[in-house]
Amino acid sequence: MLIVQKYGGTSVADIERIKAVAERVAKTVEAGNQVVVVVSAMAGETDKLIELAHQVNPSPGEREMDLLLSSGERVTSALTAMAIQALGYKAIALTGRQMGIVTDSVHTKAKIERITGERAFQALKDGYVVVVAGFQGVTEEGEDVTTLGRGGSDLTAVAIAWALNADLCEIYTDVEGVFTTDPNIVPEARKLQRISYEEMLELASSGAKVLQTRSVELAMKYNVPLVVRSSFNDKPGTYVCKEDKEMEKVMVSGVAYDKNQVKITILKVPDRPGIAARLFKQIADANIVVDMIVQNISSDGQSTDISFTVPKTDRERAVEIAQRVSSELGAGGVVVDENIAKVSIVGVGMKTHSGVAAKMFETLAEHGINIMMISTSEIKVSCVINDKYTELAVRALHEAFNLKEG
């Protein structure tokens, strides 16, 4: 079999952990497999580099940011290859460029366009373990390093598994799989044996960072067989796969939260066609992804308030655009709320059960938690609340939908 193994930050956090990765890779090779390893930077390293950048410049250039951030994964890819060599196996470390990972030129959140992977193909044929630096690519012209957005090594792994037509993509992390909610917040959370791509996608896009959203999107699109498991033990992990009948029996399979968004409101926007189009076109042109949107008639009945949420990292640019649009339209100005969190419940069973949203609202109400925004999809309900209630809300919903162990 050809197996892609991705090791996250905590799994390569220090020399001991890197040696443990090398051992696991060696075992996988001994079992008769070809292995491509994808590594993240050491735990905390990417944050540290971002912090350094902001110490020299409050708004650092994005091209240089990518050059800086890509270094973390280069360090671990080289060290991991060396550790595998030390065990007597052939290993070669490749950067994103050397792997032929070609992206667009949207720095800090580039999209993969294609993977050539020639060197990797050849190296595998020659009996090497290929160790790829995650999270990075190179622009079409081959001139600039790009990065794939936070958590992007997951995407590197899935994209390589797809490009090389691997039999399995294993995501090794610091938890034993995908749980009914973040086990670091709710210790009673239960590990799922299997989860559908669809549910995993909703959980990831709702903030469950165990898999990066785009990596799940890609896995779902191309049916890449994916398993999430721990690099600290040999327990089986969670399979992410196509939905089946069994899965529909459960109404809700998981609860997720996201504290990485801000809410921006433009007050008293004239109530006429074309306004929302104008605002959100400009935001989209700036490559900012808007999550929730709510529009409400304001008290004077002549105008509306438009609220929307964006990732915290895009706050400055989004506010700038909102302020510009507000003054162009003669609206009432812009207000920003930093103290928000989004809590979501996800489950394919929602398609066939009613009253799920009502139960979520009731549960939040019972705990005195006010809802600021709501959005739903066929298999998800999300509420924006004050962020000081995040943990309380997650625990309460986990309990209300009977997701606990046992």
Question: Is residue 183 part of the contact set for ligand ASP (CB under 6 A)?
Answer: no
For residue 179, the partner it binds in ligand ASP, Mg ion, ligand ADP, none, with Cβ less than 5 to 8 A by kind, is: ligand ADP
**Among 64, 174, 217, 271, which residue sits at the site for ligand ADP (rule: CB under 6 A)?**
174
Number of residues that bind ligand ASP (CB under 6 A): 13
* Per CB under 6 A, 207 contacts ligand ASP: no
- Report CA torsion sign: 43, 49, 50, 51: positive
- Beta strand pairing call for 101-103 and 2-7: unpaired
Q: Single out the residue of 367, 372, 368, 397 nearest to residue 384, CA to CA.
A: 372
CB 386 within 8 A of CB 370: yes
Instruction: Convert residues 287-326 into a mask of x (bound to ligand ADP by CB under 6 A) and - (unbound).
Output: ----------------------------------------
Tell me: does residue 72 bind Mg ion (CB under 5 A): no
Closer CB to ligand ADP, 70 or 181, in the complex:
181
Footprint of ligand ADP on 223-242 (CB under 6 A): none
Q: What are phi and psi of 283, to 5 degrees?
A: -65, -40
Question: For 345, what's the count of Cα atoms within 13 Å in the CB-facing half-sphere?
Answer: 28
Kindly tell me which residue out of 3, 4, 5, 9 binds ligand ADP, with binding defined by CB under 6 A.
Answer: 9
CB under 5 to 8 A by kind: which of Mg ion, ligand ADP, ligand ASP, none does 41 bind? ligand ASP
Instruction: Give the nearest residue (CB) to ligand ADP.
Output: 8
Write the interaction track for Mg ion spanning residues 93-132; mark x where CB under 5 A is met and - where it is not.
----------------------------------------
**Residue 153 binds to ligand ASP (criterion: CB under 6 A):** yes
Grouping H, G, I as helix, E, B as strand and the rest as coil, residue 339 is coil
Cα 266 from Cα 300, distance rounded (Å): 15
Rounded Cα distance between 310 and 290, Å, is 5
Cα separation of the two ends of the chain: 36
Pairing of strands 168-173, 226-230: parallel
Q: Binder to ligand ADP among 89, 135, 179, 197 (CB under 6 A)?
A: 179
Using CB positions, name the residue nearest to Mg ion. Answer: 151
Q: Residue 394 CA to chain centroid, in angstroms? A: 19
Binding mask 240-279 for ligand ADP (x = CB under 6 A): --------------x-------------------------
Whole-angstrom Cα distance, residue 337 to residue 324?
Answer: 18
Strand 129-133 and strand 34-39: pairing? parallel
According to CB under 6 A, which one of 117, 151, 183, 347 is a site residue for ligand ASP? 151
Strand-pairing partners, residue 263, are: 309, 337
The values of phi and psi at residue 379, to 5°, are -125, 20
Residues facing 373 on adjacent strands? 384
Strands (E), 349-390: 373-377, 380-386
Nearest-angstrom CA–CA distance, 255 and 206: 9
Nearer to ligand ADP, 100 or 151 (CB): 151
Interface with ligand ASP, residue 135, by CB under 6 A? yes
Tell me which of ligand ASP, Mg ion, ligand ADP, none is bound by residue 100, counting a contact when its beta carbon lies within the kind-specific cut-off of 5 to 8 angstroms: none
Interface residues for ligand ASP in 51-90 (CB under 6 A)? 72
DSSP 8-class letter at 260: -
Site string for ligand ADP, 195-224 (x = CB under 6 A): -------------xxx--------------
Binding test (CB under 6 A) with ligand ASP, winner from 134, 137, 237, 311: 134
- Nearest alpha-carbon partner for 135 in 43, 60, 65, 72: 72
Task: Report if residue 151 touches Mg ion, rule: CB under 5 A.
Answer: yes
* Stretch binding ligand ASP (CB under 6 A), from 13-21, 90-98, 125-133, 145-153: 145-153
Q: Give the angle subtended at the CA of 157 by the CAs of 64 and 49, to the nearest 5°.
A: 30
Is residue 175 part of the contact set for ligand ADP (CB under 6 A)?
yes
Amino acid at 245: K
Q: Which residues bind ligand ADP (CB under 6 A)?
A: 8-11, 40, 151, 173-175, 178-179, 181-184, 208-210, 254
Q: Which residues bind ligand ASP (CB under 6 A)?
A: 8-9, 40-41, 46, 72, 134-135, 150-154
